A and B are shown apart, each in its own frame.
Chain A
Amino acid sequence: MTERASPTNAADRERNSSAGATSTVSTHNGAASVTGDRQRDRSARGTTDGTDPTDTATTAQTATETERERPLAIETTGLVKHFGETKAVDGIDLAIPAGGIYGLLGPNGAGKTTVIRMLATLLQPDAGTARVFGHDVATDGDAVRRRVSMTGQFASVDEDLTGRENLVLLARLLGYSRAQAAERTSELIDAFGLTEASTRQVKTYSGGMRRRLDIAASIVVTPDLLFLDEPTTGLDPRNRNQVWDIIRALVANGTTVLLTTQYLDEADQLADRIAVIDEGRIIAEGTPGELKASVGSGVLSVRLHDAERRDAARDVLASVLDAPVELESDPAALSARIEDPDRVTQALDALAESRIEVSEFTLGQPSLDEFFLEVTDRSTRSDADRDTPTGDGTRQEGAK
């Protein structure tokens, strides 16, 4: 762990300052590479916007110092919520500094939505405390509501009204005068590409339009903290990218975003830090880089010129790398988890010596998918000591 700490942090910093991680991801996931350029674009724009690019990286490394220095956007201790017999949330501790995107990642029913609903004052916690910008959600709900805004998993707009009426309604409720409300509504409708649809009832909207309206509804007054509960679930890639653009624009402007998602790709793309939640508990926490590093330093993927030589290649790689080699669904491809990157060159040399021709190879960090399967699997296997695995390990690493 300790050995790995410094390269990980370096990789992190690179990711935060511009686009390091995106290119890494694209080696694993073809779809992600499409968005690579866009993200770089946004990050660069964030810089010109006056946002300090090192800010998020610093935050990640000095989370413990920050706690004392400025109020946290979100702070929970031992948060618990039962629904009848089920413990939906079972002792969640979070300390999320203001600024940036924090991801809550977990499968369906992990308790992500329940956490968000408690933080947004929609649910009272059964035990533990939750503070938003220092205000207790249980006793000072009104102060919390003044700082936050929420976009739920399901479109939380009035389906019978038109898009424009929905936004005017919310603007009026937030205290805008009639004229101001109309002006702000027009601005949002134009920016979110809803001009054509603005006079139609929301029930006629497509999934993407609805989601955009939903987010627009959440930022009629720019909130300090925005809860986004699975904002891209059910959206096609184009609409998903639009939503991501909106989220990045908000963060560049200083809004803190708490995002829940079941898509690892999304957490990896957007979040500065991630808490992995399963069965109401946090089973791991850290930057995407840290989380990936905690399951091994990388993966070597090799594609052979001649598929028939694959078994031979597997034997060579297994002996040099001293690690299990997996055969991919592509009949000419195989991959191996590697602990020591130096051995990669040896392995390739060994393949050449055995006259096995390599048409393509990549070396990258493990994907969050691999990480996710690994930690959720680990947590179910060792139920008794589930507090000890990666969770604490990565957190210490993050504090360095």
Chain B
Amino acid sequence: MTAERSPAAAELNSDPATEPDPDVDTLHAAVSDSPRPPRPSAVSASLTFGWRALLKIKHVPEQLFDVTVFPIMFLLLFTYLFGGALAGSTSAYLQELLPGILAMTVVFITIYTGVTLNDDIDEGVFDRFRTMPVWQPSVIVGALLGDAVRYTIASTMVIGLGLLLGFRPDGGAIGVVSAVALLLVFSFSLSWIWTALGFIMRTPESLMGVSMLILFPLTFISNVFVDPRTMPGWLETFVSINPVSHLVTAMRGLMHGTATAGDVVIVLGLSAVFVVIFGPATMYLFHAQQ
């Protein structure tokens, strides 16, 4: 490439009437025609956007606060506050609670996907991406891939602390890892709701408000903390159709080695439904965005 540019620069230098200052010389070389490289694949573009998300974590490490401090706080709080009363002992409760807390914290931090997107749109950098000849959904897929890293960090924190506190998964390392993998798939899919909302809501604050309104019932009215059989019938019905309950059931099963294929398939099916509905909705809003 350098070889192709140098003739142009030489030609400029050869003109004695207009002895350029060095800056102009490099400027002309830099703007001279460079061949357009082949269009990157969808995967490569998505990974590049994922790299961007990681760079943002590097430059603004404060944003890891919610994936480190929150899970620790939740786990300690609920284990020691409710453990004795609900399960007889804190260590017995921890075995049931940990997969649920893990699901809850990660599902909660999926909100930030939408908030980040909303910020990008405000900043104008999004306009640049939208005028580039790349696979258009890669902006969002990449951001979600970056988020997966954050989810992994949160999961590591919760499980690490849990093991210290006496969490003993019967499913072993394989069970724990597959539970986390299932959680990542579910969160990735759920995030498309927030990306769609990220285009609809005008400010990050209003987006946070709406997301909380959806997430509080989804996480608390579930089987994360207590056995739903103790609840009134109507509430039990809600809990039994709540996607988060299905996720927690499957994760508990995987971690303790009692999961059935059905448990996992339901979660994967729900994830697919989220992507199929909110993926195209996000892309529609992406194109309609003004």
Contacts and interface: CB of A to CB of B under 8 A. Distances in A.
Interface of A: 41, 44-45, 48-50, 83, 117, 120-124, 142, 145-146, 148-150, 152, 154-162, 165, 169-170, 172-177, 180, 183-184, 187-188, 190-193, 201, 217-219, 221-222, 245-246, 249-250, 252-255
Nearest to A188: B30
Contacts of A222: 31-34
A191 B23 CA distance: 6
Nearest to A251: B31
10 contacts: A48-B11, A124-B288, A152-B128, A174-B134, A176-B37, A177-B37, A184-B34, A193-B23, A222-B32, A253-B33
A161 B31 CA distance: 23
Contacts of B2: 183
Contacts of A174: 36-37, 40, 132-134
Interface residues of B, number: 49
B203 interface: no
A245 B27 contact: yes
Given A45-B28, A154-B124, 7 more contacts: A117-B127, A121-B130, A146-B36, A148-B131, A157-B125, A161-B52, A183-B2
B32 A160 contact: no
B29 A191 contact: yes
A149 B40 CA distance: 17
Contacts of B28: 45, 49, 249, 252-253
Residues of B contacting A: mostly: helix
Interface string B10-33: 011001011010011011111111
A45 B18 contact: yes
A123 to B, nearest CB: 6
Contacts of B45: 173
A253 B12 CA distance: 12
Contact of B59 (A121, A146, A161, A250): A161
B235 interface: no
A191 B30 contact: yes
Contact of B127 (A122, A172, A175, A190): A122
Contacts of B56: 158, 160-161
A253 B127 CA distance: 25
Specify which of B11, B40, B127, B290 lies most central, judged by the most chain A CB atoms within 10 Å of its CB.
Answer: B127
Contacts of A48: 11-12, 15, 18
